Amino acid sequence: GLPDRVTIYEVGPRDGLQNESAIVDVAVKAEFIRRLADAGLTTIETTSFVHPKWVPQLADAAELLAELDLPDVVRAPVLVPNERGLDRALAANVREIAIFASATETFAAKNLNSTLDEQFAMFTPTIQRAMAEGLTVRGYVSMCYGDPWEGAVPSRQVVEVGARLIDLGCHELSLGDTIGVATPGQVTALIGAFTAAGVGVDKLAVHFHDTYGQALANTLTALREGVTTVDSSAGGLGGCPYAGSATGNLATEDLLWQLDGLGIRTGVDLEKLVATSVWMAEKLGKPSPSRVVQALAG
Ligand code: HMG
Ligand code: MG
């Protein structure tokens, strides 16, 4: 069956804007996030406390958070890779963070300057200290289905990394199809591999990029497997600067069109969201790749 309700985990301000070549003004980012919240999104990943040289697009993280005054119902997690990032997040009064692990050696090297083992040497003290400070910690696993340098990624390798994040205290795992190559059979198989390893579907979220146009089919498959948290990016902004073949995330509007059609509640207003993505596309000087934005804004 399908769930009655789905939580949309909005990643546009982070996964979207980190990949734009233009550096968006902090006031525009703040307005973008305010508009997303006004459209009814209650989980918005706002920015990253990563090394500013690695992702200059999000170097203004502290400034952005100081400008935001979101209602209490809105959760505003941020990406944090290490203790230095955690220090900066704590100084900005962040309550939720997301750690991001790689399932493959090559992407761990390119994205985190680490080996698979070294990434855990970074995450372990970061998660422990975050939890001692009362923060909620999400865990991402990247390259869950395919990696541009290593090809197909064995489920066993993904589950090993994900289970380790859960053991460290992550409340949720987001399974990243970083380069958007997954197809529905792989989604079913990976969720099955996690549940067989004792990580329940209630702990799993899905994160699809839409490079090969499979994101909605993959999402519906995950919903049928019992997943109720779906990551998406308003207007389909996004990608990953350290994985060249990645394009934008599943567009939140495309997701919402499907969920609304299925009668699955999200609390999000499609019209307001489309207006926000049209506004953002004007700021970026290029049209939104979302089919639903194009259809409704046309
Ligand atoms: P490194 O160069 O190995 O860092 O980078 P280091 O620990 O050797 O430190 C070097 C210097 O950087 C030091 O300064 C540190 O203080 C400083 P120095 O002593 O030389 O003056 N530093 C920092 N400064 C500010 N904030 C920090 C920080 N950390 C160290 N947090 C590091 C290692 C992990 C920091 C780097 O590789 C990095 O920032 N990577 C982030 C890459 C990134 O953001 N990628 C995109 C997000 S992942 C993604 O998009 C996938 C996802 O969407 C899911 C999916 O689709 O699969 C989540
Ligand atoms: Mg991503």
| Cα–Cα distance for residue pair 26/32, rounded to 1 Å | 10
Q: What share of the chain is helix, strand, coil (3-state, %, to 5)?
A: 45, 15, 35
Question: Quick one: pLDDT band at residue 14, thresholds 50, 70, 90?
Answer: very high
Q: What is the DSSP letter of 10?
A: E
On the question of pLDDT at 183 being above 60, the answer is yes
Residues 249-275: pLDDT tens digits? 999 999 999 999 999 999 999 999 999
Choose which residue among 9, 17, 46, 50 to substitute to test ligand 1 binding: the one with the highest number of ligand atoms within 8 A of its C-beta. Answer: 50
On the question of pLDDT at 166 being above 70, the answer is yes
On the question of pLDDT at 103 being above 70, the answer is yes
Strand ranges inside 166-227, DSSP E:
172-177, 204-208
Choose which residue among 45, 51, 126, 218 to substitute to test ligand 1 binding: the one with the highest number of ligand atoms within 8 A of its C-beta. Answer: 51
| Cα–Cα distance for residue pair 192/185, rounded to 1 Å | 11
Nearest atom in ligand 1 to the alpha carbon of residue 11 is: 53
Structure tokens at 245: 């073949």
* Residues with C-beta atoms within 5 A of ion ligand 2: 15
Nearest residue by C-alpha to atom 34 in ligand 1: 112
34 Cα–ligand 2 center, Å: 21
Question: Quick one: pLDDT band at residue 286, thresholds 50, 70, 90?
Answer: confident
Q: Which amino acid is at 98?
A: A
Question: What are residue 51's phi and psi, to 5 degrees?
Answer: -65, 125
Question: Quick one: pLDDT band at residue 10, thresholds 50, 70, 90?
Answer: very high
On the question of pLDDT at 243 being above 70, the answer is no
Residue with tokens 């985190």: 112
- 82 vs 23, higher pLDDT: 82
Give the residue-averaged pLDDT of 133-139: 98
Give the residue-averaged pLDDT of 25-29: 98
Question: Quick one: pLDDT band at residue 21, thresholds 50, 70, 90?
Answer: confident
Nearest atom in ligand 1 to the alpha carbon of residue 55 is: 44
Residue 171: other Cβ atoms inside 10 A = 12
Nearest atom in ligand 1 to the alpha carbon of residue 112 is: 37
Which ligand has an atom closest to residue 58 CA?
Answer: 1
Which residues are near ligand 1 (CB < 6 Å)? 15, 18, 48-51, 54-55, 79, 81-82, 84-85, 88, 100, 111-113, 140, 142, 176, 178, 207, 240, 242
1 Cα–ligand 1 center, Å: 41
257 Cα–ligand 1 center, Å: 36
Please give the pLDDT value at position 102: 98
Give the residue-averaged pLDDT of 123-133: 98
On the question of pLDDT at 148 being above 90, the answer is yes
On the question of pLDDT at 240 being above 70, the answer is no
Give the residue-averaged pLDDT of 136-152: 97
Please give the pLDDT value at position 247: 76
Indicate the average pLDDT of the chain: 95
Give the residue-averaged pLDDT of 150-170: 98
On the question of pLDDT at 65 being above 80, the answer is yes
- 238 vs 69, higher pLDDT: 69
Nearest residue by C-alpha to atom 49 in ligand 1: 240
List, by residue number, the catalytic residues.
240
209 Cα–ligand 2 center, Å: 7
200 Cα–ligand 1 center, Å: 30
Nearest atom in ligand 1 to the alpha carbon of residue 49 is: 31
Q: What is the pTM of this model?
A: 0.97
Please give the pLDDT value at position 19: 87
Residues 184-197: pLDDT tens digits? 999 999 999 999 99
Question: Quick one: pLDDT band at residue 242, thresholds 50, 70, 90?
Answer: low
